[in-house]
Structure 1
Amino acid sequence: MDITREHIDELNAIVKVAISKDDYSDKVATVLNDYRKKANIPGFRKGHVPLGLVKKQYGKAVLVDEVNKLLQDALDKYLTEEKLDVLGNPLPKAQEGFDWDAENFSFEFELGLAPDFEVNLKGKKAITSYQIVADDKMLDEQIERIQKQYGKLISKDTVEEGDEITGTFTSEEKEIENKATFSLDKIKGKRNLNKFTGAKAGDVLELKSKSLFQDDHDLMHFLKVSHDEVHDLDITVNFTIEEINKREPAELNQELFDKLFPAGTVNSEEELRARIKEDAEKQFEQQADQKLLNDVTEYLVENTKFDLPAEFLKKWIQQTGEDPLTEDQASEEYEKSEKGLRYQLIEGKIIRDNELQVTFDELKDFAKEFIKIQMAQFGQTDPSEEELDSIAARILSNQDEIKRLSEQLMSKKLLSLYKEKTNLKTKEVTYEDFVKEVYQ
């Protein structure tokens, strides 16, 4: 067997594989002899079928199969030994007049080669790294919500501002009949609020669904209609009041503190505010980190210039998909995936240049931290090491979970690298300002 390579340019090459009869004849003979022993052909006892008859029936198929196996193994080995960084997979070139009846064969494959490039993490233009703080306004609102959530309900006869109402929405037109509980601060507009104010249990209010609630998602929930339907919903609904309650806020005392956190860990309103601030800012840090990761990714893709073997990749997409594609469809798919491919190459280069890797011990520790967070959400705040080890072992026995956690851990390592080596400017903002600036 002889393998040669011809470079068309820096990104494209042709590999030629020459296979002679000596390379495959023994393997073909072995398979045919095995067929001969097992073949059931009318007129012959099993194991006594003439070899010539077996060759006539199965010889061509066995030859093709064995040569293709030999070809694939040789190509894979060659790419590994030559350390060729290829994109996609080798594509066989069509050869006119190819003859499987010949003794010697020659095959050609097109290769798309990964480009050689450098990544400059520290660009001239600084990337914003947001530091989101929980301001006094947010802390006040959060404490007010906690006091309401843990407060007492006091039954009332007449609806007033700030009350909590339970009743049933009905509409014959849309076949709606749904019981709901909500506070009046969810109602939108003075006209709607005036219909509720002064009403009593048993009263039936006629309401317009359009602009009834501050948030359309509340309307979807309280009327039990679909997400697609709710945004254009403009009907009359009846609301029968069943209960009227005023929620008396819970006192900021030790009893409340111990309901919110492990007993004795928070002992004053000041400590409560500090704890809420700490917990909120930890959550904000995750959002800020994701924003930074996205922005650095965008920066690297835009500022790391290199060419790709575009025509090869379009052809590869066209030929290797589940369904056959036209040239135009393949070009469209390539345009969609090009940015992602560029970042994969850039990320791979960064990982190699900075010798980033994920060890099994790191993965196990990362899984245990993830498990702790999950368990804490269900009130299990102090699991034993033995319990964590057992759950982690079960998770890491699943290859899909290993892949998912490995990707998350590598993203964490990349983020740390970016924080250390990229040109960043820190911007302190409240969460409200962060949302306005980033998402609006």
Structure 2
Amino acid sequence: MNITKKDIDPLNAVVTVNISKDDYSEKVDTILKDYRKNANIPGFRKGHVPLGMVKKQYGKAVLVDEVNKILQNELHKFLTEEKLDVLGNPLPKNEAEIDWDAGDFSFEFDLGLAPEFEVNLKGKAVTHYKIVADDEMINNQVKTIRKQYGKLIAKDTVEKGDEVTGTFTSEEKGIEKKATFETEIVKGKKQLSTLIGAKVGDTITLKTKGLFKDEHDNQRYLGVDHDAAHGLDIEVALKIEEVNKREMADLNQELFDKIFGEGVVTSEKQLKEKIKEDAERQFEQQSDQKLLNDVVESLIENTKFDLPKEFLQRWIQQSGEEVLSEEAAKEEFEKSEKGLRYQLIEGKLRAEHKLQVTFEELKDYSRDMIRMQMAQFGNMNPTDEELDGIVGRIMSNEEEVRRLSEQLNTNKMLQFYKENAKLKTKEVTYDKFIKEAYA
């Protein structure tokens, strides 16, 4: 047995594995003798079949199988011991040329090697958005709460500020959708004037162009798909079935206790502070996801290194269930190249900064997650025995372990980027964040 590596360039190498007859013959002979003991061949008693006949019938298949086992084991061992950071898997180079009747064999494999590079964390500064809940948002939320917990008063005639329930229909577009909406969301003056004064039981005709302030409301209230909702310009009939005026709830202790629990909030000021706190906590998740996406893009753009593209395209071509064409493999590589580059960057950062997730960290993360979930259902002080039992069940579920590991990995990388990447903080309202981040 002899294995050698020849470097073609910094990203490509060829490994040659030489296997001699001495490496496999004893094992092959043992297997064939076992075959002989159990072979059932007409004309011979079990266990008395001539060895030469067994070799003729099974020898080639056993030899090929045993040599391939040795080959795979030794190749894996060599790559591990030499600490070769390979991309994809070794590709056989000369398998079509192997003469299985020869006693000794020489196998060659192409390797694609991971590049050497330094991660550039200090390129162009990435914006880290701090999203704040402004007064308008907080006041709107207070208004929504008062409406949600207020009283509905049935009416006969539509006035401004009322809630209207009815069924929209259009034979042309196949629309038949029951909906409840407030008159405040109606944009068109003619449509609003048609609606105001209408009575329960009336059927009125409305034009959809400019009907609602947001065209996405066409999707919500008329039941059309997303594409049809934009620029929809037809007439619809609305049969009015209910008209209600919503009397808003008073901001008093009874309302505060109903929403937040007894004594948690005791004034309108505290209510607004709580709304602001809860909103900004939710905004932080969106801000963090945007930051992570932008840092990843920045790292890919600013960390320069070459890849063994030709090797990787050949590996993609041959590694699937079906062999791809060269053109399809090239297209697939181009789609996955950015992802591969980031995998290499992230892997290097994890190794250099010891960011790998440990089993104990995963257990602690699971425990904290369970504790929060139990608190949502009123169990504020679960026992250690309860937590250990649930954590144990989670740790025995491979799919759950993988999912939680990915979450924890992401959290660790995000925290690392917050502390080490070049960032600039920008304070914005939620509406401005949406415009800037997803324009």
TM-score interval for Structure 1 and Structure 2 normalised by the shorter chain:
over 0.9
Q: State the match for 2:212 in structure 1.
A: 213
Aligned-pair CA distance for 1:10: 1.1
Aligned-pair CA distance for 1:246: 0.7
Letter in 2 for 1:382: M
2: distance between equivalents of 1:237 and 1:40? 82
Aligned-pair CA distance for 1:217: 4.2
Q: State the match for 2:105 in structure 1.
A: 105
Q: State the match for 1:384 in structure 2.
A: 382
1: distance between equivalents of 2:95 and 2:363? 51
Unaligned runs of at least 5 residues, structure 2: none
1:357 alignment partner, SS class: coil
1:425 alignment partner, SS class: strand
2:42 alignment partner, SS class: coil
1:9-67 C-alpha deviation (Å, 9 max, x unpaired): 11111100000111111222222223233333333344443322222222111111111
Q: State the match for 1:128 in structure 2.
A: 127
Q: State the match for 1:183 in structure 2.
A: 182
1:77-114 C-alpha deviation (Å, 9 max, x unpaired): 00001110001100010356421011110000001111
Q: State the match for 1:21 in structure 2.
A: 21
Q: State the match for 2:245 in structure 1.
A: 246
Q: CA separation of 1:42/1:215 partners in 2, compared to 1, >3 Å: closer, same or farther?
A: farther
2: distance between equivalents of 1:381 and 1:275? 22
Q: TM-score, normalised by structure 2?
A: 0.93
Q: CA separation of 1:279/1:52 partners in 2, compared to 1, >3 Å: closer, same or farther?
A: same
1: distance between equivalents of 2:371 and 2:170? 47
Aligned-pair CA distance for 1:219: 2.9
Q: CA separation of 1:194/1:45 partners in 2, compared to 1, >3 Å: closer, same or farther?
A: farther
1:117-174 C-alpha deviation (Å, 9 max, x unpaired): 1123233x32222111111111101111111111110111110111111122334455
1: distance between equivalents of 2:231 and 2:399? 41
Q: State the match for 2:139 in structure 1.
A: 140
Q: State the match for 1:165 in structure 2.
A: 164
Q: State the match for 1:39 in structure 2.
A: 39
2: distance between equivalents of 1:96 and 1:365? 52
> Counterparts in 2 of 1:22-421, with a 5 A limit?
22-94=22-94, 97-123=97-123, 125-227=124-226, 229-231=228-230, 234-374=233-373, 379-380=377-378, 382=380, 384-385=382-383, 386-421=385-420
1:309-345 C-alpha deviation (Å, 9 max, x unpaired): 1111111111112222122221111111111111111
2: distance between equivalents of 1:107 and 1:19? 8
> Which deviates further from its counterpart, 105-114 or 380-389?
380-389
> Which deviates further from its counterpart, 213-222 or 135-144?
213-222
> Which deviates further from its counterpart, 338-347 or 162-171?
162-171
Aligned-pair CA distance for 1:263: 1.6
Unaligned runs of at least 5 residues, structure 1: none
1:64 alignment partner, SS class: helix
Letter in 2 for 1:18: N
Aligned residues: 438
Letter in 1 for 2:19: I
Q: CA separation of 1:373/1:246 partners in 2, compared to 1, >3 Å: closer, same or farther?
A: farther
Q: TM-score, normalised by structure 1?
A: 0.93
2:65 alignment partner, SS class: helix
RMSD between superposed Cα atoms in Å: 2.1
> Which deviates further from its counterpart, 152-161 or 286-295?
286-295
Aligned-pair CA distance for 1:284: 1.1
1: distance between equivalents of 2:369 and 2:218? 35
8 Å CA contact 2:215–2:231 kept in 1: the answer is no
1:202-231 C-alpha deviation (Å, 9 max, x unpaired): 001223445433444433343444445544
2: distance between equivalents of 1:383 and 1:42? 75
1: distance between equivalents of 2:154 and 2:161? 13
Letter in 2 for 1:273: K
Q: CA separation of 1:152/1:14 partners in 2, compared to 1, >3 Å: closer, same or farther?
A: same
Letter in 1 for 2:433: F
Q: State the match for 2:8 in structure 1.
A: 8
Q: CA separation of 1:207/1:52 partners in 2, compared to 1, >3 Å: closer, same or farther?
A: farther
Q: CA separation of 1:372/1:200 partners in 2, compared to 1, >3 Å: closer, same or farther?
A: farther
2: distance between equivalents of 1:190 and 1:42? 97
Q: CA separation of 1:42/1:424 partners in 2, compared to 1, >3 Å: closer, same or farther?
A: same
Aligned-pair CA distance for 1:294: 1.5
